[in-house]
Structure 1
Amino acid sequence: MSDYLLEMRGITKSFSGVKALDGIDLRVKPGECVGLCGENGAGKSTMMKVLSAVYPFGSWGGQILWERHPLQAHSIRETEAAGIVIIHQELMLIPQLSVAENIFLGREPRTATGLIDFDRMNLDAAKLLADLRMGHINVALPVSHYAGGQQQLIEIAKAMSKKAKLLILDEPTSSLSKSEIEILLRLVRDLKAHGTACVYISHKLEEIQAIADTVTVIRDGRFVSEGPIAQMPIPDIIRMMVGRDMSNLFPREAHPIGDVVFEALGITCLDPENPSRKRVNNVSFALHKGEILGIAGLVGAGRTELVSALFGAYGGQHSGEVRLDGKTLRIRSPKEAVKHGICMVPEDRKLQGIVPGLGVGYNITLSVLDDFTHTGLIDENREFSSIGTAIDRLRIKTASPLLAISNLSGGNQQKAVISKMLEPKPRVLILDEPTRGVDVGAKYEIYKLMFALVKEGMSIIMVSSELPEVMGISDRVLVIGEGELRGDFINDDTLTQERILTAAITPARQAA
């Protein structure tokens, strides 16, 4: 008799005749954490949507055995009733409702008269959070009161309130700080110890190594390998994911760096909700032609606010001067920034980078529609020729340029956003967390693209929370701490992660 809680056998799934899954297997035991690894577009999320009945029985091929019995669910409600609960990469909480209301949404306890029993709901939510070692969270407060990391933990509590036997975590730490990641991993370990099984999907292979018992690797919709994590070192997992050796994840290439082309002088950003607080305080720097300038700092340091102000996208009051080729620019909106040759890939692609229901190709050309317009009409032949070139350049995996971009994996959505911002042929390209939620293969392609662009004379500003990435790619590193510029380092043999972190946490007055 099988000792597996879940067995997925030979799963197939097609979209418009294109196979997204081609005979994939997955097995999970009670209390086991399986790391599911693969590049963007490999089929990981599609596979989990099959399992959780987002794609109902009959729309896919193969067999699912749950507790040794065939599972033929037609809705998420059915899979949740069986004990299979998925936590998506994008949080599914309602900010205005309380923590307790979010946890029991649609399953609220009722009084004898049929009204919601708020007292019981709050007590049940508080007990659940205490059992999960999350008793510090006030269940009566709105979810919006808590930061993203805490909200991710609330999502897990919501899942466990549904009596989850198998918890699916899809990129759960993509927007978490290091300390929040440690809390989440500890929570998963606790769940495993109490018999809850997990499927953990992440591009951060060090997390897979830390939490998974076994690893399943898929590539291009096909099963590649499975095995104990102890027998699958990270380089081997990467090789299986991408189908080639990637011993150097940061393909640093020599390139000429010229004179200063861009300057930011005295940039100051006030907090939109509290104008007496400065999110960015009098930051100045220069950017050279053909240079990759990395911006490092702790979460909340003001990095995103700084680059958003440069791009005319900051939501609060801000001041300072921006110069291109020595000429002062007046940038009051992203449209004006693009017109001046400054483009930006935002940190939150879902909220700021894409139009979800619009086709992949149309998302790419949004920034240059005027180029294809004549007498008020769009020349579709020219537009689609440009779209084809852009898709080929970044190897965006899509069944069709007309497919809604929301159907693409996160990494391919990111490639499309980068393509959109390359269409205007900018002089300065700002990349805010360009590889967040992107697999190692796509990261490598983005890095190669960055070096190709600076060789052509473009200048790049890259914000990243990953210090190895900052040091592996940048020519020079700015360090921001509490809104202040705390370091400007040439990225040579003397620069270390320790120097960057020390600068990030040391106030400028002390550093001086």
Structure 2
Amino acid sequence: MSEFLLEMKNISKSFSGVKALDGIHLQVRRGECVGLCGENGAGKSTLMKVLSAVYPYGTWEGEILWEGHELKASSIRETEKAGIAIIHQELMMVPHLSVAENIFLGSEISNHGFLDYDAMNARAQELLAKLNVHDINPALPVLNYSGGKQQLIEIAKALNKDAKLLILDEPTSALTATEIRTLLDLIKSLKAEGLACVYISHKLEEVAEISDTVTVIRDGTHIATRPIGELTTASIVTMMVGREMKNLYPKEEHAIGEVVLEAHNVSCWDVTNPDRKVVDDVSFKIRKGEILGIAGLVGAGRTELVSTLFGAYPGSHRGSVHLDGREITIRSPRDAVKAGICMVPEDRKRSGILPIIGVGHNMTISVLNRFAAFGLIDEHEELAQIQAEILRLKIKTADPMLPIASLSGGNQQKAVLSKMMLPDPRILILDEPTRGVDVGAKYEIYKLIFALAKAGVAVLMVSSELTEVLGISDRVLVIGEGRLRGDFVNDNLTQEHVLAAALGQSTQMA
């Protein structure tokens, strides 16, 4: 028997003559977790698509050995049958089907030509119990459960297919701290039972905790594979970006001017439960050139607050917004953009991009009137703007007209930023601007934020990463259970201060 469960040797893959992978090596032993690290666009997802036969044998070069034998799979069904299961960053769930129906999707249990729901529910319960999950009802729709619970359901689905290798692609990007802890502990217990894992994450502290070895790739090439004991998060970052990064937050001095926007007594009610307030009488101000961070626990009402300011909150809400001391009415995002308020949404897949449209057109859609004359678009002028933006934001794309969905998450996020920067906003709202983005792309986004502040733009940023909030904000608002629980100047402010305020505990600033 081979020492390795999986060996990928000299894997190369090209798209339209452009090499996305160039001689990549990856090895995984039974019961081992390999952390796969690299910047957005480095080739991590492409490599996993080769392994899982999204790109079938014959469309790439190299060799895959599975349990010592060459694997020449032509479909995902074949790799799943072999024991390879991939859980994507965007969970592949059918929300209105039950938990059991999702677990057995494509491999349903039938009895005399009819689906045997009792058998599927019972088996689903067994699988969840094996994962030490006892608070999920297999008969209820998946949409009843949080992102963390849905991750566990996906793992149960993989175990139902007798998975020997579990590939997790950014599994914690939308999970709470408690859900992350549950998932990492579960992976450790599955490893102890012999399940192998490839763990892809930009959260290097998770990679360090869960991985036995780390493989780093950069620009489609293999950089290094080393035991985790020989590495630090700093050394992983250096290999990922090809340079030492001593300071992740490239702070630049910027002047803070007069108050530009004031929100007064903003309240919002839950879309699904109109009797419940999710934002409760919040008021604040933001100044020209100021970076105002909004911190708080998941579910505190941060996204609802900024969505209301942008005219995008679908539920009931009230309050007033003043721009330069004058009250303005914002009923829709169109009104907000006209007033000089732009927003990069939390969920770029659902609200930020048009996936089948080209990268360039996704960026210029917010300012098409600039290129229009007599009902026609000046395509040459538009293309010049697109190329300038691609260069300015360092967006990696083989062609500006490639569908944006074909780009990595970080490059998609840069395109969404460009779309919201092109209207030259006075206030830019950023909701989780670096979620699912690698450390190198984060650095570039932070530089953009500081450049905007230096140019006088007021930046309002929501982030679940306290280090990020403290790393770039001039001032921090803390939201807890829909209420404003703190408004701190970011001078010697600590994570402990912010968390204490979010939890409603009294705190003294040093």
Same-fold call, TM cutoff 0.5: yes
Give per-residue Cα distances to partners, 1:257-276, cap 9 Å, x unaligned: 11111111111111112221
Alignment correspondent of 2:82: 82
Alignment correspondent of 1:342: 341
Alignment-mate amino acid for residue 14 of structure 2: S
Alignment correspondent of 1:153: 152
Give per-residue Cα distances to partners, 1:255-310, cap 9 Å, x unaligned: 11111111111111111122211111110000011000000000000000000000
Separation in structure 1 between the aligned mates of residue 409 and residue 154 of structure 2, nearest angstrom = 20
Separation in structure 1 between the aligned mates of residue 505 and residue 349 of structure 2, nearest angstrom = 34
Alignment correspondent of 1:38: 38
Give per-residue Cα distances to partners, 1:104-163, cap 9 Å, x unaligned: 01111111x121111111110000110111122111111011011111111111111110
Alignment-mate amino acid for residue 464 of structure 2: S
Alignment correspondent of 1:501: 499
| Number of residue pairs aligned between Structure 1 and Structure 2 | 509
Alignment correspondent of 1:23: 23
- 5 Å-filtered alignment, 1:182-261, equals 182-261=181-260
Deviating beyond 2 angstroms after TM superposition, the runs of 4 or more aligned structure 1 residues are none
Q: Which runs of 5+ in 2 are unaligned?
A: none
> Is contact 1:287-1:293 (8 Å) kept?
yes
Q: What SS does structure 2 have at the residue aligned with 1:248? A: coil
Alpha-carbon distance change, 81 to 140 in structure 1, aligned in 2, over 3 angstroms = same
Alignment correspondent of 1:172: 171
Alignment-mate amino acid for residue 432 of structure 1: D
Separation in structure 2 between the aligned mates of residue 126 and residue 103 of structure 1, nearest angstrom = 11
Separation in structure 2 between the aligned mates of residue 101 and residue 205 of structure 1, nearest angstrom = 34
- 5 Å-filtered alignment, 1:88-103, equals 88-103=88-103
Q: What SS does structure 2 have at the residue aligned with 1:415? A: helix
Q: What SS does structure 1 have at the residue aligned with 2:114? A: coil
Of stretches 249-258 and 352-361 in structure 1, the one that deviates more from structure 2 is 249-258
> Is contact 1:214-1:228 (8 Å) kept?
yes
Separation in structure 2 between the aligned mates of residue 459 and residue 12 of structure 1, nearest angstrom = 45
Separation in structure 2 between the aligned mates of residue 402 and residue 61 of structure 1, nearest angstrom = 27
Separation in structure 1 between the aligned mates of residue 282 and residue 435 of structure 2, nearest angstrom = 25
Separation in structure 2 between the aligned mates of residue 194 and residue 114 of structure 1, nearest angstrom = 36
> Is contact 1:481-1:507 (8 Å) kept?
no
Alignment correspondent of 1:54: 54
Give per-residue Cα distances to partners, 1:4-47, cap 9 Å, x unaligned: 00000110001111110011000000000000000000000000
Q: What SS does structure 2 have at the residue aligned with 1:30? A: coil
Give per-residue Cα distances to partners, 1:36-92, cap 9 Å, x unaligned: 000000000000000000000011011111111111100000000000010000010
Separation in structure 2 between the aligned mates of residue 180 and residue 65 of structure 1, nearest angstrom = 34
Indicate yes or no: 2:273 matched with 1:283: no
Alignment correspondent of 1:417: 416
Separation in structure 2 between the aligned mates of residue 239 and residue 210 of structure 1, nearest angstrom = 19
> Is contact 1:486-1:507 (8 Å) kept?
no
Alignment correspondent of 2:295: 296
> Is contact 1:132-1:157 (8 Å) kept?
yes
Q: What SS does structure 2 have at the residue aligned with 1:168? A: strand
Separation in structure 1 between the aligned mates of residue 185 and residue 271 of structure 2, nearest angstrom = 35
Separation in structure 2 between the aligned mates of residue 372 and residue 151 of structure 1, nearest angstrom = 44
Alignment-mate amino acid for residue 29 of structure 1: R
Separation in structure 2 between the aligned mates of residue 330 and residue 381 of structure 1, nearest angstrom = 36
Separation in structure 1 between the aligned mates of residue 456 and residue 439 of structure 2, nearest angstrom = 26
Separation in structure 2 between the aligned mates of residue 369 and residue 156 of structure 1, nearest angstrom = 44
Q: What SS does structure 2 have at the residue aligned with 1:480? A: strand
Q: Once superposed, what is the RMSD of the aligned Cα atoms?
A: 1.3
Q: What SS does structure 2 have at the residue aligned with 1:56? A: coil
Give per-residue Cα distances to partners, 1:382-421, cap 9 Å, x unaligned: 1111111111111011110110000001111111100110
Alignment correspondent of 2:113: 114
Separation in structure 2 between the aligned mates of residue 247 and residue 451 of structure 1, nearest angstrom = 18
Alignment-mate amino acid for residue 2 of structure 1: S
> Is contact 1:359-1:403 (8 Å) kept?
yes
Separation in structure 1 between the aligned mates of residue 155 and residue 250 of structure 2, nearest angstrom = 37
Alignment-mate amino acid for residue 102 of structure 2: N
Q: TM-score, normalising length from structure 2?
A: 0.98
Alignment correspondent of 1:132: 131
Separation in structure 2 between the aligned mates of residue 276 and residue 145 of structure 1, nearest angstrom = 19
Q: What SS does structure 2 have at the residue aligned with 1:368? A: helix
Alignment-mate amino acid for residue 494 of structure 2: T
Q: What SS does structure 1 have at the residue aligned with 2:384? A: helix
Separation in structure 1 between the aligned mates of residue 149 and residue 285 of structure 2, nearest angstrom = 37
Of stretches 156-165 and 302-311 in structure 1, the one that deviates more from structure 2 is 156-165
Q: What SS does structure 2 have at the residue aligned with 1:217? A: strand
Q: What SS does structure 1 have at the residue aligned with 2:459? A: strand
Of stretches 254-263 and 348-357 in structure 1, the one that deviates more from structure 2 is 254-263
Q: TM-score, normalising length from structure 1?
A: 0.98
- 5 Å-filtered alignment, 1:456-495, equals 456-493=455-492, 495=493
Alignment-mate amino acid for residue 414 of structure 1: Q
**Shift, 1:342, TM fit:** 0.4
Q: Identity, % of aligned pairs?
A: 67
Q: Which runs of 5+ in 1 are unaligned?
A: none
Alignment-mate amino acid for residue 206 of structure 2: E
Q: What SS does structure 2 have at the residue aligned with 1:179? A: helix
> Is contact 1:87-1:167 (8 Å) kept?
yes
> Is contact 1:431-1:461 (8 Å) kept?
yes
Give per-residue Cα distances to partners, 1:447-490, cap 9 Å, x unaligned: 01111111111110000000000000000000000110000000
Q: What SS does structure 2 have at the residue aligned with 1:129? A: helix
Alignment correspondent of 1:383: 382
Of stretches 131-140 and 82-91 in structure 1, the one that deviates more from structure 2 is 131-140
Separation in structure 2 between the aligned mates of residue 341 and residue 118 of structure 1, nearest angstrom = 54
**Shift, 1:2, TM fit:** 3.5
- 5 Å-filtered alignment, 1:286-365, equals 286-365=285-364
Alignment-mate amino acid for residue 295 of structure 1: I
Alignment correspondent of 1:4: 4
**Shift, 1:507, TM fit:** 7.0
Separation in structure 2 between the aligned mates of residue 220 and residue 327 of structure 1, nearest angstrom = 50
Q: What SS does structure 2 have at the residue aligned with 1:164? A: coil
Separation in structure 1 between the aligned mates of residue 158 and residue 7 of structure 2, nearest angstrom = 21
Alignment-mate amino acid for residue 496 of structure 1: T
